[in-house]
């Protein structure tokens, strides 16, 4: 009735709850506790779930946005199923109980250090049991052995290179690839996948020797990835029964293992970051690799161009996501269309990123002369009265230029179609900035941006975060993994005297003719929980057709999930409380957690008396607190 196509619940793997008997201190979407939570999401009316990136993270950095592109983190493998007959009890039940009993800290937080070590040991034990029983011809594992062999054949490219990275990292003292030796046979390890001219045969021979010498480690890595894939397949089956779609996350960053693989087709002179913006005035020095435009395409023997290594890598990555998900969140899509770059190896990265430039929008910058060769925008198309990071720095483009700006993004759209999806199954995380070239590219595919409504500047009628400025193709949300929970935001509005302006704005969106505006504004402005309820209803009154709610907001949690630019145990560690089954309904009735039925009722009431008269019973049912 309200015209909403997608209502997604956002939650990252680590944040899922676990049942007491399976909880090692980190969540997994494949656990029994996760299924309990997903059943609640379906019962509340969500149409899908938005996960974060699922790649392998390091022992020192839990951020999923620095994880691997192809391999799933072993931390998300649920151990509970391995103790069941379905998996031939590869992990004995008493061993699982011992691991759970050793878990430190509260269950509402990820015990990252403990889980990183405990999960590695448990999966090694499961693999040893699997190998021994498979070698002995145990029929209980025969089907899994056949599936594992097929999985290895189908995914050999990324499985072998990701497994070898772990092997080489161990051989080189647990250091990342850019710290490996520069002399001797091991010097080739830095460029094993894209060796210098004349060293290809040597690199191939080195890879073959490593694979043979470390076959057991490669097999163990493949086994863990097979477990993760099998559990992911089971999750999708369960979600289909719940009528929930599953969205993945295409993060813009490269993990060290992916930088190692991609070093032959990323720029050497520049790396990617985020320019100064309303959200981050200092900019963000990510240090991520950026595809070399000269490796997008390569000439064939007949002079025609074919896809080069950069496009082939991106295509393989997107194809893997579409094989496993119904839709994809595209993280910072400016990184695919008009990336902001700065000099690699700068002594002061923040200063460097502040004086960076857009890769394809810099035809004649004195401080970045190397970028001129990659320019798509012409000098005459720039507005030099604006800072070079401004959305309007490029003021016009012809269609052929838009083609060139959108070459990488076109891979996403093409893979969506190839996997039976639509372009609108791509959710573009465009926040406070949308450079003109990026706007042109996504408009070509009928896509929109994100509107984080808690950030709306109510003093500006044209502010990008105001809900009425959205288009049908946009995504609206109260917040995401990088924002404060809406509950904190509302409490701050009240404390700072901003609540009345918020209430007046929301009244203009939510009240129909004939309702007592003054009384509603006074009531809402005096109560942070009423402000939150109104902010939630605001998501559903249009015109955006896509709504997303982050789990912290839904459950009434007051702690931020991540504080951008900071590091520490509080980041990426918050979990759904184990008592959510009883706790959420209680909090919802008390107005301390989001009440979706009442928000929908308020949105329906905004349609006016005529609409309400035809749907009185429905609105009454939605407003009834169970």
Structure tokens given for 164: 């070898």
DSSP character string of 367-422: T-GGGGGG--S-GGGB-TTS-TTSTTSB----HHHHHHHTHHHHHHHHHHHHTT--
What is the per-residue pLDDT across 6-20, written as a single tens digit (0 to 9) for each? 999 999 999 999 999
What does each C-alpha distance from 226 to 249, 313, 436 come to in angstroms?
A: 20, 21, 42
At residue 186, the pLDDT reads: 80
Regarding beta strands 475-477 and 546-550, do their DSSP bridges make them parallel or antiparallel, or are they unpaired? parallel
| 543: preceding bond cis by omega (within 30 degrees) | yes
**Residue range 588-598: average pLDDT?**
96
Q: Which of 183-197, 297-311, 524-538 has the highest mean pLDDT?
A: 524-538
Say whether pLDDT at 196 is over 90. no
Pair 316, 157: CB distance under 8 Å = yes
Say whether pLDDT at 566 is over 90. no
Say whether pLDDT at 184 is over 90. no
Structure tokens given for 260: 């190692």
What is the per-residue pLDDT across 113-149, written as a single tens digit (0 to 9) for each? 999 999 999 999 999 999 999 999 999 999 999 999 9
Planar angle of CA 127, 133, 138, nearest 5 degrees: 140
What is the per-residue pLDDT across 269-320, written as a single tens digit (0 to 9) for each? 999 999 998 888 899 999 999 999 999 999 987 779 999 999 999 999 999 9
Say whether pLDDT at 109 is over 80. yes
CA distance 403 to 405: 6
Pair 249, 328: CB distance under 8 Å = yes
Q: pLDDT grade, residue 626 (50/70/90)?
A: low
Regarding beta strands 6-10 and 48-50, do their DSSP bridges make them parallel or antiparallel, or are they unpaired? parallel
| pTM of this structure | 0.96
At residue 278, the pLDDT reads: 86
At residue 625, the pLDDT reads: 67
Pair 449, 434: CB distance under 8 Å = yes
Cβ neighbour number for residue 121 with a 10 Å cutoff? 11
CA distance 275 to 361: 14
Percent of the residues in the chain that have a pLDDT greater than 70, as a whole number:
100
594, HSE (Cβ side, Cα atoms, 13 Å): 31
Say whether pLDDT at 21 is over 80. yes
CA distance 443 to 254: 27
The 10 Å CB-count burial string (b at 16+, else e) for 307-335 is bbbbbbbbbebbebbbebbbbbbbbbbbb
Pair 22, 119: CB distance under 8 Å = no
Percent of the residues in the chain that have a pLDDT greater than 90, as a whole number:
95
Say whether pLDDT at 475 is over 70. yes
What is the per-residue pLDDT across 353-412, written as a single tens digit (0 to 9) for each? 999 999 999 999 999 999 999 999 999 999 999 999 999 999 999 999 999 999 999 999
CA distance 515 to 521: 11
Which of 291, 64, 71, 249 lies closest to 165, judged by CA?
Answer: 71
- 344: phi then psi, degrees, rounded to nearest 5: -70, 145
DSSP character string of 516-577: -HHHHHHHHHT-HHHHHHHHHHHTTSSS-SEEEEEHHHHTT--S-S--TT--STTTT-B---
Pair 243, 89: CB distance under 8 Å = no
| Average model confidence (pLDDT) across the chain | 96
CA distance 166 to 263: 17
What is the per-residue pLDDT across 419-458, written as a single tens digit (0 to 9) for each? 999 999 999 999 989 999 999 999 999 999 999 999 999 9
What is the per-residue pLDDT across 67-84, written as a single tens digit (0 to 9) for each? 999 999 999 999 999 999
What does each C-alpha distance from 447 to 318, 406, 413, 421, 422 come to in angstroms?
A: 17, 13, 11, 14, 11
């Amino acid at each position: 009735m309200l015209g909403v196509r997608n209502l997604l619940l956002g939650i990252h793997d680590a944040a899922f709850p676990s049942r007491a008997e399976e909880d090692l201190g980190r969540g997994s979407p494949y656990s029994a506790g996760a299924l309990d939570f997903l059943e609640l999401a379906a019962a509340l009316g969500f149409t899908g779930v938005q996960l974060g990136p699922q790649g392998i993270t390091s022992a020192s950095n839990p951020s999923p946005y620095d994880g691997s592109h192809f391999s799933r983190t072993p931390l998300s493998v649920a151990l509970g199923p391995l103790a069941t007959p379905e998996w031939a009890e590869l992990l004995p039940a008493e061993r699982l109980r011992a691991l759970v009993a050793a878990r430190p800290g509260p269950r509402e937080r990820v015990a990252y250090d403990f889980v990183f070590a405990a999960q590695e040991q448990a999966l090694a034990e499961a693999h040893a049991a699997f190998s021994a029983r498979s070698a002995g011809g145990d029929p209980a594992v025969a089907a899994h052995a056949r599936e594992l062999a097929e999985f290895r054949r189908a995914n050999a490219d990324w499985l072998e290179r990701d497994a070898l990275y772990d092997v080489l990292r161990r051989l080189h003292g647990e250091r990342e690839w850019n710290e490996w030796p520069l002399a001797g046979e091991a010097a080739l390890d830095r460029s094993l996948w894209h060796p210098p001219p004349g060293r290809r045969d040597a690199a191939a021979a080195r890879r073959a020797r490593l694979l043979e010498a470390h076959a057991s480690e490669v097999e163990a890595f493949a086994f863990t990835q097979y477990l993760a894939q099998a559990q992911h397949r089971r999750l999708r089956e369960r979600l289909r029964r719940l009528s929930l779609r599953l969205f993945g996350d295409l993060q813009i960053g490269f993990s060290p293992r992916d930088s190692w693989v991609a070093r032959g087709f990323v720029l050497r002179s520049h790396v990617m970051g985020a320019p100064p913006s309303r959200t981050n005035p200092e900019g963000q020095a990510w240090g991520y690799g950026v595809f070399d435009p000269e490796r997008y395409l390569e000439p064939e023997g007949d002079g025609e161009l074919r896809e080069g290594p950069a496009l082939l890598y991106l295509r393989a990555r997107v194809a893997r996501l579409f094989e496993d998900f119904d839709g994809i969140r595209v993280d910072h899509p400016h990184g695919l269309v008009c990336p902001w770059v700065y000099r690699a190896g700068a002594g002061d990265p923040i200063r460097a990123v502040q004086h960076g430039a857009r890769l394809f929008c810099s035809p004649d910058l004195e401080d970045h002369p190397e970028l001129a060769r990659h320019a798509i925008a012409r000098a005459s198309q720039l507005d030099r009265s604006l800072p070079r990071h401004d959305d309007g720095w490029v003021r016009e483009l012809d269609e052929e230029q838009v083609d060139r700006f959108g070459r990488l993004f076109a891979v996403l759209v093409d893979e969506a179609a190839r996997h039976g999806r639509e372009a609108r199954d791509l959710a573009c995380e465009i926040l406070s900035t949308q450079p003109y070239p990026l706007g042109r590219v996504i408009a070509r595919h009928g896509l929109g941006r994100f509107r984080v409504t808690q950030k709306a500047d109510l003093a500006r009628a044209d502010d990008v975060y105001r809900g009425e400025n959205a288009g049908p193709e946009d995504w609206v949300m109260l917040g995401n993994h990088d924002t404060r929970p809406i509950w904190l935001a509302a409490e701050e509005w009240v404390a700072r005297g901003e609540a009345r302006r918020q209430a007046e704005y929301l009244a203009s969106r939510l009240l129909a003719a004939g309702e007592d505006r003054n009384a509603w504004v006074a009531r809402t402005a005096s109560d942070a929980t009423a402000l939150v309820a109104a902010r939630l209803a605001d998501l559903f009154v249009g015109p955006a057709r896509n709504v997303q709610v982050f789990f912290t907001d839904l459950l009434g949690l007051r702690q931020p999930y991540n504080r951008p630019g900071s590091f520490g145990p509080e980041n990426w560690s918050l979990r759904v409380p184990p008592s959510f089954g009883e706790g959420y309904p209680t909090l919802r009735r008390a107005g301390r957690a989001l009440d979706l039925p009442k928000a929908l009722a308020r949105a329906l009431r905004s349609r006016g008396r005529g609409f309400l008269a035809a749907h009185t019973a429905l609105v009454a049912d939605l407003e009834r607190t169970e």
